[in-house]
Chains A and B, each alone.
Chain A
C-alpha cells in the first residue's frame, strides 16, 4: 500500500442494468495530486467519480480511501466531497448553504462562522453570501458548491466537468479557483472535455472508453 495514496482502486467493475458502466484495473491517486478523467460522453468518468465517493454501489473489486475501504470509512465523508456537473444548492441563501454543511460536520458556532467567512473570502463569494442560492449563475453555483465543501473541511475534491456549460467569465473564475486549490495542496480528481483545462490543471490524465479506464502517462490503469 502506498502511504501517500489518497485513493487506491483495484480490480473495479461496476455494472448498471447488466452493462459494465465503469471498470478500472488499478488506479492510485496521491495526496495533493490533480488527476483528470477524460473520454467521450458515457465512457464512465462520472460513474467512476461517484464510485470513488461512495455514491454508487455495490461493485466488484476494491476502492480504498486513506488506506481503508470506502464503505463505512468516516474519513471519506470528512475529507472528500463530490461536486456535480451542475451542483445542487439547497433552498435559502448562499450563507445558509455553507452554514448547513458546517452544521453537518458539527463545527462549533465560532469555528463555523470563521470557516464560513474564510471560505467566502477565499473563493470570492463574500458578495454572494446573502443572495438566494437558486438565483446564481452556473459559475457562481460551482464556486459556492466548492466553497461549501472546502469550508466543511474537504481537501479531496471529486469534480464532474467543473467548467462545462459556463460563460467565459464563469469559466475563468472556476479555473482560477481550481488552480488556487491545486496550489494549496488539495487533491483534485476531475472529469473534463476541455483540453485546455486538463493541460492547466492535471498532473496526470486517465482516459476512459466504453466504461473502461485506460492507462495515461504515469498512470497504472490498464
Chain B
C-alpha cells in the first residue's frame, strides 16, 4: 500500500526523472511508429493491390516476421548497428537512434500486415474502378491509402502500443542509460529487479493508461470507418 501511494505521489508530485522517462518513452515510440508507418503502409497497400506470383508467400513472410520475438529483432538490428556492423559508424548503438531504429523494425511488419489485412475488407470494386479508369500504380496506392485511412489509423495505433510496451529492443539497443535511453519499460525491469517498486508501479500506471488510450482511439477509428 505504501509503494502504491509513493507511486502515485511520484506522478502527481511531478518527479523529474519519472516524467523524463515517460516523455522519452513517448518520444521514442512516436518516432519509431513514424518510421514503421512510412514503409509499412505502402507495403501493406502494395500487397493488397499487387497481382504477382508469390504474393501468398510474401504475405506469409510479413505475418511470420510480425511474430518474431522482440529480443530477436533487437539482436538482428544489433548486428547492423554494433561497431563492427555495416551501420556501426553511425554510432546508433546505446543511443536514442538505435532504440528508435529497433522499435521501427519491430513495428514495421505489424503495420504492413495490419494494413494489408484491413485493406482486404475494403470493397474490391474500389480498386477495380481506379484501375479501369486508368489510374496508375502510384495513384491507386494513394487512393487506397486514403480510402483505408481508418484501417491505417488502427495499424498505426497498434504499432505505437506495441513499441511503447516492448522491453527487449530498448534494453538491448539502448542499454538503459539513465537520462539518455532509459524508457518506461526498461526502468520497470531494472527497478523491479532491485526490489524498488515505487517508480516501476508509477510507470506501470502510465503504460496501462497509454494502452487504454490506444484501445479507445482504435475503437473510435473502427467506428468512424463503418
Residues on A facing B (Cβ under 8 Å): 50, 53-55, 57, 77-78, 80-82, 84, 86-88, 90-91, 100-101, 104-105, 148-149, 152
Contacts and interface: CB of A to CB of B under 8 A. Distances in A.
Contact of A101 (B123, B133, B143): B133
Given A57-B51, A104-B139, A88 B126 contact: yes
Contact of A152 (B123, B126, B134): B134
Nearest to A83: B132
Contacts of B129: 84, 87-88, 90
A50 B129 CA distance: 11
B55 to A, nearest CB: 12
From DSSP, what is the main secondary structure of chain B's interface residues? helix
Contacts of A91: 147
A82 B125 CA distance: 11
B220 interface: no
Contacts of A57: 51
- Interface size on B, as a range, is 10 to 19
B123 A148 contact: no
Q: Which 8 pairs between the two chains have the least Cβ-Cβ distance? A: A77-B134, A88-B129, A82-B132, A88-B125, A104-B134, A55-B128, A101-B133, A81-B132
24 contacts: A50-B128, A53-B132, A55-B128, A55-B131, A55-B132, A77-B134, A81-B133, A84-B125, A84-B128, A84-B129, A87-B125, A87-B129, A88-B123, A88-B128, A88-B129, A90-B129, A101-B134, A104-B133, A104-B134, A104-B135, A148-B133, A149-B132, A149-B133, A152-B134
B104 to A, nearest CB: 31
Contact of A82 (B51, B126, B128, B135): B128
Contact of B134 (A55, A84, A105): A105
A108 B39 CA distance: 33
Contacts of B135: 104
Given A82-B132, A148-B133, 19 more contacts: A50-B128, A53-B132, A54-B131, A55-B128, A55-B131, A80-B132, A84-B125, A84-B128, A88-B123, A88-B126, A88-B128, A88-B129, A90-B129, A90-B143, A91-B147, A104-B134, A104-B135, A149-B132, A152-B133
Interface in B88-125: 123, 125
Interface string B29-54: 00000000000000000000001000
Nearest to A101: B133
A101 B130 CA distance: 9
Contacts of B134: 77-78, 101, 104-105, 152
